[in-house]
């Protein structure tokens, strides 16, 4: 007789976080598929559309740090309740925009809400995942994000054809609100306060209640320690924003496919990222278990990811064969996504006690790339009429990222600041016990 698998509380928490990653990516990249219909109705130029893309990235980058700190101070449960309500409302608002300015404003609000999401989720995972599951946890959550990438083009294309591009944003926004309710109902900052967690699970989790601590952040020293990771993430982010924002339009305009076919080709590329995220996390953790070397487990996978993405993206500039281009873009996206799990595990390896803020510092690089790259890509396309040239700028940054990854040193833990360190806030006083 078949026995039903009983999922542990840690697995269910991981699943809920995976849902968040999937939904937030649908919320942020659905504009890529809806862009042609939006441009036609609202009369947007490619530069204006690029500004709408990048409007998300400005607050997103800032709130990587501010939101990560907020997650460290308030805890993930409250932080994601607030931020989830903001990004859900912003998604619904996009369905009611009337021009470039209102679209930019709604995307800006979306960036505020989503900016705190991943650093705060990393804060949650730091307390809910054992050390040798961190790579897997980051890999599977980001695989869910890439699944959102892959599902978005056909999903949004279907909603646009069946209803309208406005309705597609409203429906996805309401789904986001449903996740916010699930998060508040099920998640607890400290696993020891969760009714469903077992003693066997607690035995392998971090012994210190990291999520329950309210320590002052040594901003200056932590920033300097995380700077190489931030720069590495910038190089990765530049390429990822290219894929997220422009791939559907690239197939539509460069290869003259209709919206349905361009959505199918874009989904094929994004599905390669789903596999890459999962493989990167599994391989990184396996290296860690076999060698005990954190640097080898994280850095080697990241370097391979950068170099592999470079090798597969290069042929895109020298061929017009649609099949070859699709396969090369899929290969490039697979290798680029190998980077995600290990680089998101690095803040937890370096500074688990400040993992929200540390991952915020790291992902600021990703957000900064998102500020710059969409506008640059839009200018290139408007000036040349060619949709393949933006890939050229990514090649140099892929090589730079491989070199910068060697300076991250995840095997050297961050030591708490001395008394004279720069801090943003005073330590919370501890009440004397009876």
Task: Give me the domains of the chain, ranges plus CATH numbers.
Answer: 9-191+219-405 (1.20.1250.20)
- pLDDT above 70 covers a percentage of the chain that reads 82
Retrieve residue 67's tokens. 């939101």
pLDDT number for residue 248: 65
Residue 174 has pLDDT above 90, yes or no: yes
pLDDT number for residue 234: 92
Q: Angle CA(27)–CA(28)–CA(34) in degrees, nearest 5?
A: 85
What does each C-alpha distance from 338 to 148, 310, 331, 365 come to in angstroms? 17, 13, 11, 18
Retrieve residue 304's tokens. 């391979």
pLDDT, greater one: 399 or 151: 399
pLDDT number for residue 180: 94
**Least confident piece of the model among 209-213, 316-320, 367-371, 408-412:** 209-213
Instruction: Quote the mean pLDDT of the chain.
Output: 79
- Per residue in 332-364, pLDDT (tens digit) is 889 988 898 888 888 878 877 777 778 888 888
**Bridge partners (DSSP) listed for residue 423:** 218
pLDDT, greater one: 367 or 400: 400
pLDDT band at 425 (very low <50, low <70, confident <90, very high): very low
Question: Per mean pLDDT, which of 158-162, 177-181, 311-315, 316-320 is the most reliable?
Answer: 177-181
Which three-class secondary structure string do you get for the chain?
Answer: CCCCCCCCHHHHHHHHHHHHHHHHHHHHHHHHHHHHHHHHHHCCCHHHHHHHHHHHHHHHHHHHHHHHHHHHHHCHHHHHHHHHHHHHHHHHHHCCCCCHHHHHHHHHHHHHHHHCHHHHHHHHHHHHCCHHHHHHHHHHHHHHHHHHHHHHHHHHHHHHHHCCHHHHHHHHHHHHHHHHHHHHHHCCCCHHHCCCCCHHHHHHCCCCCHHHCCCCCEHHHHHHHHHHHHHHHHHHHHHHHHHHHHHHHHHHHHCCCCHHHHHHHHHHHHHHHHHHHHHHHHHHHHHHHHHCCHHHHHHHHHHHHHHHHHHHHHHHHHCCCHHHHHHHHHHHHHHHHHCHHHHHHHHHHHCHHHHHHHHHHHHHHHHHHHHHHHHHHHHHHHHHCCCCCHHHHHHHHHHHHHHHHCCCCCCCCCCCCCCCCCECCCCCCCCCCC
Question: Per mean pLDDT, which of 71-75, 320-324, 332-336, 417-421 is the most reliable?
Answer: 332-336
- State the average pLDDT over residues 259-287: 76
Residue 247 has pLDDT above 60, yes or no: yes
Kindly report the length of the chain: 434
pLDDT, greater one: 340 or 371: 340
pLDDT number for residue 19: 92
pTM (two decimals): 0.70
- Per residue in 192-212, pLDDT (tens digit) is 777 777 677 666 566 554 444
Residue whose entry in the numeric block shows the structure tokens 């989904």: 267
φ, ψ of residue 32 in degrees (nearest 5): -60, -40
What does each C-alpha distance from 30 to 25, 27, 108, 176, 277 come to in angstroms? 8, 6, 15, 13, 20
């Amino acid at each position: 007789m078949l026995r039903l698998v009983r999922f542990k509380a840690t697995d269910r928490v991981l699943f809920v976080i995976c849902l968040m990653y999937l939904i937030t990516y649908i919320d942020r990249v659905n504009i890529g598929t809806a862009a042609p219909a939006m441009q036609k109705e609202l009369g947007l130029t490619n530069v204006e559309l690029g500004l709408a893309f990048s409007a998300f990235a400005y607050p997103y980058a800032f709130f990587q740090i501010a939101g990560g700190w907020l997650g460290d101070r308030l805890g993930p449960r409250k932080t994601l309740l607030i931020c989830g309500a903001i990004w859900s409302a912003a998604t619904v608002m996009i369905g009611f925009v009337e021009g470039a300015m209102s679209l930019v404003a709604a995307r800006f609000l979306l960036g505020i809400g989503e900016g705190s999401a991943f650093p705060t989720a990393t804060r949650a995972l730091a307390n809910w995942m054992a050390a040798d599951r961190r790579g897997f946890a980051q890999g599977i959550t980001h695989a869910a994000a890439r699944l959102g990438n892959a599902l978005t083009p056909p999903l949004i294309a279907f909603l646009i054809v069946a209803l309208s591009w406005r309705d597609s944003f409203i429906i996805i926004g309401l789904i986001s609100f449903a996740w916010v309710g699930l998060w508040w109902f099920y998640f607890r900052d400290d696993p020891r306060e969760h009714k469903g967690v077992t003693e066997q699970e607690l035995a392998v989790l971090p012994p210190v209640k990291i999520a329950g601590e309210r320590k002052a952040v040594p901003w200056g020293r932590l920033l300097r320690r995380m700077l190489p990771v931030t720069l590495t993430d910038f190089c990765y982010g530049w390429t990822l924003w290219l894929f997220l924002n422009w791939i559907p339009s690239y197939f539509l305009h460069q290869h003259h496919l209709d919206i349905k076919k361009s959505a199918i080709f874009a989904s094929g590329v994004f599905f390669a990222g789903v596999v890459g995220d999962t493989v990167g996390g599994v391989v990184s953790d396996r290296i860690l278990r076999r060698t005990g070397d954190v640097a080898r487990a994280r850095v080697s996978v990241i370097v391979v990811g950068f170099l592999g993405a470079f090798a597969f993206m290069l042929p895109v500039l020298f061929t017009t064969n649609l099949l070859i281009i699709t396969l090369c873009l899929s290969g490039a996206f697979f290798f680029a996504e190998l980077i995600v799990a290990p680089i998101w595990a690095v803040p937890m390896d370096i500074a688990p006690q400040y993992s929200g803020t540390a991952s915020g510092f790291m992902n600021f690089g990703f957000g900064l790339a998102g500020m710059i790259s969409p506008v640059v890509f839009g200018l290139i396309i408007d000036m040349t009429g060619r949709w393949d040239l933006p890939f050229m700028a990514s090649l140099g940054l892929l090589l730079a990222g491989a070199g910068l990854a060697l300076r991250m040193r995840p095997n050297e833990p961050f030591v708490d600041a001395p008394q004279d360190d720069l801090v943003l806030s005073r330590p919370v006083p501890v009440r004397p016990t009876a």
